[in-house]
Amino acid sequence: MRIKKFTAENIKEGKSLVIRELGEDAVILSSRTMINPATGSEYIEIVAAIDDINKHSKATKIADTPKQENLPQEKTELLGEAIFLKEISEIKNTLAIINSNLKYKYSGSLSPVFSKLYKRLILNEFPENYALEIVGKVSNININVEYSPAINYAKEIFAEKIKILKPLNVMTEKTVAMFIGNTGCGKTTSLVKIAVIVKLLTNKNILIVSADTYKIGGAEQLQTMSAIVGIPFKAAYSPDELRDIVQKAKTDYDLILIDTIGRNHNSEENISELADYFEMAEPNLTYLVINSTLSNATTRKILDKYSKFRLSGVILSKIDECETIGGIIPVIAEAGLPIAYVTKGQRIPDDIEPADRYKIAELMLNIEE
């Protein structure tokens, strides 16, 4: 089977090219409208095939091989098996080409360097429109760029899109910071890590408050961690109690860190209950902790559901558990949210660091072809 890709201004012209090149027996495997990222103009891409194997095999039977009935039974079976395996192999190759065309549907319209860059972006889960935007911007910088410099240009482009929120240890004003996010995203561990870092680097008086009173042992666990690192702790068992704790503590403490129970972003009841605590705490800063292993679709939905909490910034947790963050960073950037911290393990306080746009840009392209 011979497979070939054709491009034309319209479908009629494309079909004419297929017939002219492959003949009347050609089969169109796929056709779609494409956009040239350099010009913005539309064109048609057609993938067609002709079954040359069958034609060749017929001619071979007539001209070169003895009739099957004259062959021993064993040879006949082996010949039939070989033909079958060859046809299976051709089908697999065809499906692989179709799958590649679907996954990297714009690669055929790009130069080899930009096609390779585009494929790497898609492999790293970049949204397609964002990948094309990056490719277009790199081509505007240098249309004849080599692959390695093209990667560096790409990193610089999306590093510029990443906003950074300064860490708590450099903030001078008194602050109430609330940590929110889904179940298991790493809120409590992130809070304690930040508390220890601020304590080590500054003279701030710090208070840790737990509003996580639903998870079994949640408050007790945080109280134990607070005692180990030598930071005062209080637990709030209702929104009103949280308000009273915060109001009284503002006089004596420079930094109040509030832990909350993990919530299911798909539950309106859960989000509403969290909103009650949020309103009573009146935080200056609200950190949304996001598990880095999430898909871009789930991240987008989480950002939408938590947007009512006047988010100050994002903490990316569990960086060490994901292959790439190429899918979620564009979503966070699109929401206009800065990134405050990045966490990469359970050790306190080692496995956390203030966000750095260039390090994040590096993590966005972890996967190579």
Last residue of a domain, one of 145, 161, 177: 161
Domain shared by 83 and 210, yes or no: no
Determine, yes or no, domain membership for 338: yes
Beta bridge partners of 343: 352
CATH number of the domain to which 173 belongs: 3.40.50.300
Structural domains of the chain, count: 3
Domain shared by 233 and 336, yes or no: yes
Domain shared by 32 and 91, yes or no: yes
Domain shared by 280 and 345, yes or no: yes
> Would you state the structure tokens that stand for residue 338, as one six-digit string?
């800065």
Instruction: Compute how many other C-beta atoms are within 10 angstroms of the C-beta atom of residue 32.
Output: 11
Determine, yes or no, domain membership for 44: yes
- Structure confidence by residue, pLDDT tens digits, 33-60: 777 766 767 788 888 878 765 554 444 4
The one-character DSSP state at 186 is S
Determine, yes or no, domain membership for 263: yes
Last residue of a domain, one of 105, 126, 152: 105
CA distances from 302 to 180, 212, 267, 360 (A): 11, 19, 11, 20
How far apart CA 230 and CA 271 sit, in angstroms, is: 32
How far apart CA 76 and CA 65 sit, in angstroms, is: 12
Determine, yes or no, domain membership for 38: yes
pLDDT tens series, the chain, 369 aa:
677 888 888 888 888 888 888 888 787 777 777 777 667 677 888 888 787 655 544 444 434 444 445 556 665 556 666 665 665 665 555 544 444 444 445 555 577 888 888 888 888 878 787 888 888 899 888 888 898 899 999 999 989 989 999 999 888 889 999 999 988 888 888 999 999 999 989 989 999 998 876 654 556 777 777 777 788 999 898 999 999 999 999 999 999 999 998 777 777 888 888 999 999 999 999 999 999 888 888 999 999 999 989 999 999 998 888 778 888 888 998 899 999 999 987 777 778 999 999 999 988 887 776
177 φ/ψ angles, rounded to the nearest 5 degrees: -120, 130
Would residue 366 be called left, alpha or beta, if left means φ above 0 and alpha means ψ between -120 and 50 degrees? alpha
Determine, yes or no, domain membership for 369: no
First to last CA, the chain: 27
Domain shared by 99 and 28, yes or no: yes
How far apart CA 120 and CA 146 sit, in angstroms, is: 15
How far apart CA 83 and CA 146 sit, in angstroms, is: 44
Determine, yes or no, domain membership for 308: yes
Determine, yes or no, domain membership for 241: yes
Domain shared by 187 and 313, yes or no: yes
Domain shared by 185 and 65, yes or no: no
How far apart CA 326 and CA 266 sit, in angstroms, is: 24
Last residue of a domain, one of 68, 86, 105: 105
Determine, yes or no, domain membership for 176: yes
Domain shared by 233 and 352, yes or no: yes
- Structure confidence by residue, pLDDT tens digits, 209-231: 988 766 545 567 777 777 777 88
Domain shared by 134 and 30, yes or no: no
Domain of 131, in residue numbers: 112-161
- Structure confidence by residue, pLDDT tens digits, 283-322: 999 999 999 888 888 999 999 999 989 999 999 998 888 7
How far apart CA 36 and CA 10 sit, in angstroms, is: 14
Domain shared by 177 and 157, yes or no: no
Domain shared by 212 and 326, yes or no: yes
Ranges of beta strands (E only) in the chain are 2-8, 27-35, 42-50, 175-181, 206-211, 233-235, 255-260, 285-291, 313-317, 339-343, 352-354
Domain shared by 182 and 304, yes or no: yes
